Amino acid sequence: MDVLSDVIGTVRTGRPNAARVAWHSPWGMRFPEVSGVGFQVVLQGSCVLTVEGEPPLHLGVGDIAFLPNGQGHVVSESTGSPVEDLCALLPHGRTGEPAGPVTELVCGPGGAGPRFGSGTAGGAEHGEPACVTLGGSYHTCSARPHPMLAELPRLVHLPARVGARTELGAAVELLGSELARPRPGGDAVVPSLLEMLLVYILRAFIEENRHAASRGWLGVMRDPAVYAAVQAVHRDPAHPWTVAGLGERAGLSRAAFAKRFTALVGLSPLAYVTWWRLTAAGRMLQEDDAPISAVAARVGYSSQFAFANAFKREFGLSPGRYRAGVPVREVPAGAPSAG
């Protein structure tokens, strides 16, 4: 896979959720923080989205608010509107559930219901709604954070622009339609559309910031030489990579490549290789039942013992315990160990 697809595939866990909601005046909802990323899109009308510590964000039709780290937020008719707390509406007072606007749609009775749907909320539910939003979240694994997401602002605003980002607009329209009118096959279609929407949002942000500072992962995505090396590591983590070999992929001398790579990524080339191998292994351990020795070989370790030691340094527990679902220590995003 390409680097952006790998970033999404590695950090994502479980199924995403989404709800299309028609809001009737007066309305306002406070969404809890989630372990993942969230989004809100305005399909009709306008609203205000507020994140603590950030100025209120006024959203109109077609505007997208993206929350890369799942920040709690308020979506309301105006800054002075009455606000309900979603946490108080959740069954048994649970918090941190999927951040959907309608409890019955997103959580279901006892938390076991559908993850997708459409509904109404707010004041009197008759007549034209004051606003229609499309919101949802993607849960991520705290043990496998990727620095690309950590580098994004707490709140990303992608304003609607006539004739721009047509693919993103099409994904929003298709997703909104599927949620508004459930049809056979929806449970297969909606998750794919949500994955597509996440890719298009990240693409749009990268494009919007193509002239911004060159350091970090945005810089990696725009640097053909370093990107080529990172892409090679992602496509074949088991290869016995050397700095010289990666430099050759980048079309640079060993010294020039190492300096450029470290300046952008924040890790030396071989430290990144180690981190990616272990991160990819973590995903494999949770997604299939291959023997640990086979997982080790697939990410470049000829010795299961060496793999287990490196894995424990990165995640704080053995591969077997990780696979068994034992809680791991949270790894600060953007600060992978040097392995």
Q: What is the mean pLDDT of the chain?
A: 83
* CATH of residue 92: 2.60.120.280
Q: What is the rounded CA–CA span in Å between residue 321 and residue 333? A: 22
The residue-averaged pLDDT of 38-55 equals 94
Among 14-18, 204-208, 248-252, 314-318, whose mean pLDDT is lowest?
14-18
Cβ-contact 40, 137 below 8 angstroms? no
| Confidence label for 14 from pLDDT (cuts 50, 70 and 90) | confident
Q: In angstroms, rounded to a whole number, what is the distance separating the alpha carbons of residues 32 and 83?
A: 13
Q: Are residues 149 and 18 in the same domain?
A: yes
Domain count, the chain: 2
Find tokens 């809680």 and name the residue. Answer: 327
pLDDT at 97: 40
What is the model's pLDDT at position 115?
Answer: 62
Where helices occur in 266-318 by DSSP H, the ranges are 269-287, 292-298, 304-315
Is residue 2 within 8 Å of residue 231, measured between CB atoms?
yes
Question: Are residues 99 and 148 part of one domain?
Answer: yes
- Residue 174's alpha-carbon distances to 46, 73, 230, in angstroms, are 20, 25, 33
Last residue of a domain, one of 192, 208, 224: 208
Mean pLDDT value of segment 135-162: 83
Residue 134 lies in a domain: yes
Is 331 among the domain residues? no
Question: 326 and 317 in contact (C-beta within 8 Å)?
Answer: yes
Could you list the residue range(s) of the whole structural domain that residue 56 is in?
Answer: 3-208
Q: Does one domain contain both 203 and 225?
A: no
Please state whether the predicted TM-score (pTM) of the whole model is above 0.75. yes
> What's the rounded mean pLDDT across residues 40-64?
94
Which CATH number fits the domain that encloses residue 234? 1.10.10.60
pLDDT in tens, 269-298: 999 999 999 999 998 998 889 999 999 999
Q: Which residue in 13, 254, 246 sits closest to 138, CA to CA?
A: 13
Q: Where are the beta strands (DSSP E) in the chain?
A: 17-24, 28-31, 36-45, 47-50, 57-59, 64-67, 73-76, 84-85, 116-122, 131-139, 156-158
If asked whether residues 200 and 222 sit together in one domain, one would say: no
Q: In what order do the strands lie in the sheet with 116-122?
A: 116-122, 17-24, 131-139, 36-45, 64-67, 156-158
What is the secondary structure of 25-67 as a DSSP string?
A: SS-EEEEPP-SEEEEEEEEEE-EEEE-TTS--EEE-TT-EEEE
Is 339 part of a structural domain of the chain?
no
How high is the pLDDT of residue 113? 38
Within a domain: residue 338?
no
Average pLDDT, integer, range 301-317: 95
For range 201-215, the mean pLDDT: 81
Q: Round to whole Å and give the CA distance between 195 and 200.
A: 9
Query: 189, 208, 227: which is the final residue of a domain?
Result: 208
| 99 & 171 share domain | yes
Q: Are residues 168 and 268 in the same domain?
A: no
Residue 59 has pLDDT above 90, yes or no: yes
Q: How confident is the model at residue 226 (pLDDT cuts 50, 70, 90)?
A: very high
Residue 12 belongs to a domain: yes
Please give the residue that has the higher pLDDT: either 1 or 37.
Answer: 37
| pLDDT above 60 for 236 | yes
Which structure tokens are listed for 111?
A: 């938390």
Given 187, 208, 229, the domain boundary residue is 208
Closest CA to 65 of 245, 241, 205, 234: 205
User: Are 125 and 75 in the same domain?
Assistant: yes
Q: Are residues 222 and 153 part of one domain?
A: no
320 CB neighbour count, 10 Å cutoff:
12
Segment 35-52 mean pLDDT: 92
Q: Is 239 a member of any domain?
A: yes
Average pLDDT over residues 11-15: 75
Contact 31, 38 (CB under 8 A): yes
Q: Is there a single domain that holds both residue 28 and residue 138?
A: yes
Whether residue 196 sits in one domain with residue 47: yes
Q: Are 41 and 157 within one domain?
A: yes
Q: Percentage of residues in the chain with pLDDT exceeding 70?
A: 83
| 178, part of any domain | yes
86 within some domain: yes
Q: What is the mean pLDDT of residues 106-123?
A: 53
Residues 172 and 288 in one domain: no
For residue 150, the model assigns a pLDDT of 82
How confident is the model at residue 85, as a pLDDT?
A: 82
Contact indicator for 230, 220 with CB cutoff of 8 Å = yes
